[in-house]
Amino acid sequence: MLSRLLTQLVQTEGDEGVAAGWSFVYFFSLLAAYYVLRPLRDEMGIQLGPDVLKELFSAVFICMVGLVPVFGWLTRRFERRRLLPWLYAFFASNLLMFHGVLLFEGQQSPWVARVFFVWVSVFNLFAISVFWSFMADLFTTQQAQRLYGFIAAGGTAGALCGPVVTAALVRPLGPKGLVVVSAMLLMVCVGAIWRLRQWHARHPRLDLDGTPDEAERDEHAFKGGLLSGLVDVIRSPYLLGICGFLFAYALLSSLLYFQQTELVPKAFQNSTDRTQLLAGVDLLVNGVTLLIQIGAFAPLIRRLGTRALLMAMPAISVVGYAVLAAMPVVTILLILGVVRRAGEYAISKPARETLFNVLPPEQKYRAKNVIDTLVHRTGDTSSIWLLSGLRGLGISSGAMLWLSVPISLSWLAIAWVLGKQAVALQREKNLHT
């Protein structure tokens, strides 16, 4: 019955509905598990205070740089569909260990807060990023065009469910109980992967003409690794522009995070109240994101184009940060945070992804991998250190907020140039096809 329903809703063929359904369950459980943990992580960051943020982001960056080659070695040695159940089971076992630690040390322990903050950030990077790689292993390009929208909706539903669970259960269960809930959701992911492996064994992945599909034909593009991708980035003004766009976003996001660690504790002294507040913010962000994704993004990008959507959030940031600098209160901080995060997920990131479509395959994959991992995390870490340095020089939070206005204007200029370059590269590509 479920397969027939999916056939009608998603236009599945044969028993693709089985794979689409289990992929939906997998992505739903994964993002729900993460969003159960995210408010706990942010609350622990608030407990530690802004002076510790640079250490936390540096630790995340160091862990990422150390683990990316290890994970790359594992994926070369073992098939992803065989490796992933063990990976998620490992993460679930980590959460059960956190449960034991929280029983004895409590949420207020500084070292527990530091380790948990870093662990959740690294978990987010690996567990979620490999999901779509696994989907690429399962489905052909033609199948992906029909099924990915439905599968992505599972993730959005999970992102909405996770904060609701945290807000509802943080008082009766406490943080130690919520990490067990997250571990249980990760084990649902393991079960879904096993079912998808069984489906894949019955359905070798071929294109309609019987040849390996486009994703497998382009697999050579990944062989150069991070070093080759970094060389691609350095040699390309266009890719450097994308890096500049990301760095400006990271700098402004870090500044907002600094303000959160200062303003939220003043308004909400109780740790549980802050956790519920942050869960509510996550719920609102994901709800607004879903509404924009469903009803606005496609018509906006068709009508306005990539350049306008790239410029949207920088333009909003110019106004938003000016208002926050003039009135640094928690209400404005939360409103700006919701608008920026929802705008990033629903508008800026999808528009930014289209910038890679005009590149040749070797740059599209190698350079994108470097930008999405190394460059993005470098931007997060360096911006935190930069802001910490400004604080060390005696520059007040209010002054730094005013500095965010010219940074937003610079971000707006980068977006305009990138959009113009993307149009030119697309025209050049069309002439050669």
Q: How sure is the predictor about 381, in pLDDT bands with cuts at 50, 70 and 90? A: confident
Whether residue 1 lies inside any domain: the answer is no
Is residue 49 domain-shared with residue 187, that is, in the same domain? Answer: yes
Is residue 148 domain-shared with residue 232, that is, in the same domain? Answer: no
Residue that finishes a domain, picked among 186, 217, 248? 217
The whole-number pLDDT of residue 393 equals 81
Give the CA dihedral 247, 251, 253, 259, nearest 10 degrees.
180
Is residue 268 domain-shared with residue 309, that is, in the same domain? Answer: yes
Is residue 209 domain-shared with residue 255, that is, in the same domain? Answer: no
Instruction: Please tell me the distance from the alpha carbon of residue 401 to that of residue 165, in angstroms, as a whole number.
Output: 34
Is residue 231 domain-shared with residue 266, that is, in the same domain? Answer: yes
Is residue 232 domain-shared with residue 142, that is, in the same domain? Answer: no
Residue that finishes a domain, picked among 182, 217, 252? 217
Among 108-112, 250-254, 275-279, which stretch is predicted with the lowest mean pLDDT?
108-112
Residue 255's H or E segment, with its range, is helix 237-267
207-233 average pLDDT score? 54
Burial class (CB in 10 A: 0-12, 13-18, 19+), 121: buried
Whether residue 5 lies inside any domain: the answer is no
Q: What share of the chain is helix, strand, coil (3-state, %, to 5)?
A: 90, 0, 10
Is residue 268 domain-shared with residue 374, that is, in the same domain? Answer: yes
pLDDT digits (tens, 9 = 90+) for 163-193: 999 988 888 988 889 999 999 999 999 999 9
Whether residue 77 lies inside any domain: the answer is yes
pLDDT digits (tens, 9 = 90+) for 414-433: 999 998 898 888 777 666 65
Report whether pLDDT(404) > 70: yes
Tokens of 323: 């208002």
The whole-number pLDDT of residue 51 equals 75
Is residue 234 domain-shared with residue 165, that is, in the same domain? Answer: no
The whole-number pLDDT of residue 333 equals 92
Between residues 242 and 365, the one the model is more confident about = 242
Number of Cβ within 10 Å of residue 339's Cβ equals 16
Whether residue 6 lies inside any domain: the answer is no
Instruction: Please tell me the distance from the alpha carbon of residue 343 to that of residue 331, in angstroms, as a whole number.
Output: 18
Among 6-15, 16-25, 214-223, 343-352, which stretch is predicted with the lowest mean pLDDT?
214-223
Exposure b/e, 136-147, CB count within 10 A at least 16 = b? bbbbbeebbeeb
Q: CA angle 202-205-208, nearest 5°?
A: 115
The whole-number pLDDT of residue 286 equals 85
Is residue 410 domain-shared with residue 377, that is, in the same domain? Answer: yes
Q: Which amino acid is at 13?
A: E
Is residue 271 domain-shared with residue 305, that is, in the same domain? Answer: yes
324-341 average pLDDT score? 92
Whether residue 20 lies inside any domain: the answer is yes
Whether residue 44 lies inside any domain: the answer is yes
pLDDT digits (tens, 9 = 90+) for 233-253: 888 899 999 999 999 998 898
Tokens of 377: 């995390």
Whether residue 165 lies inside any domain: the answer is yes
The whole-number pLDDT of residue 174 equals 84
Range of the domain at 341: 223-433
Between residues 218 and 329, the one the model is more confident about = 329
Residue that finishes a domain, picked among 217, 250, 273? 217
Burial class (CB in 10 A: 0-12, 13-18, 19+), 386: middle
Predicted TM-score (pTM) of this structure: 0.74
State the total domains in the chain: 2
CATH number for position 274: 1.20.1250.20
Closest Cα to residue 58, out of 372, 375, 381, 391?
Answer: 381
The whole-number pLDDT of residue 208 equals 39
**Region of 278 on the Ramachandran plot (φ > 0 left; ψ -120 to 50 alpha; else beta):** alpha
Whether residue 428 lies inside any domain: the answer is yes
Is residue 159 domain-shared with residue 16, that is, in the same domain? Answer: yes
Is residue 386 domain-shared with residue 310, that is, in the same domain? Answer: yes
